[in-house]
Amino acid sequence: MQDMVKQIVDMDRKAREITDAAQLDKINSEKEVQQKREEIREQYLAKARARIALNEPQERAAAEKSWEKVKQHNDEVSKRLDELARDKKEEWIRTITARVIGE
């Protein structure tokens, strides 16, 4: 009878050891997964930053080119408006004055 109780206690102890070992493996695996996840995230961010740094000069040049086109267009419109104002100034003054006076 004593042997049987001793066997049961030994089996219980071994089962607890196996359970504890499995639990420890599970915790270690979770830590490894978390660590690997962080490594992958950092690698991804490093690649993204490198890509941004690589593309920045091209994007900046494209933005500058686009800005120059817009600036040129605005300068042309401003010049046309100045010419129109210079050419039509007297006519506009007469027209506005006539409307105000009621002629």
What number is the average pLDDT over the span 70-96? 94
pLDDT category at 45 given cuts 50, 70, 90 is: very high
- The verdict on pTM exceeding 0.75 is no
% of the chain residues with pLDDT over 70: 100
Q: Could you tell me which of 39, 58, 37 has the C-alpha nearest to residue 47?
A: 39
pLDDT category at 57 given cuts 50, 70, 90 is: very high
The domain spans of the chain are: 1-77
Q: How far is CA 83 from CA 1, 30, 54, in A?
A: 117, 75, 45
% of the chain residues with pLDDT over 90: 81
What's residue 38's pLDDT? 96
pLDDT category at 8 given cuts 50, 70, 90 is: confident
In degrees, rounded to 5, the angle at the alpha carbon of residue 78 between the alpha carbons of residues 93 and 81 is: 25
Does the structure show a pLDDT above 90 at 7? no
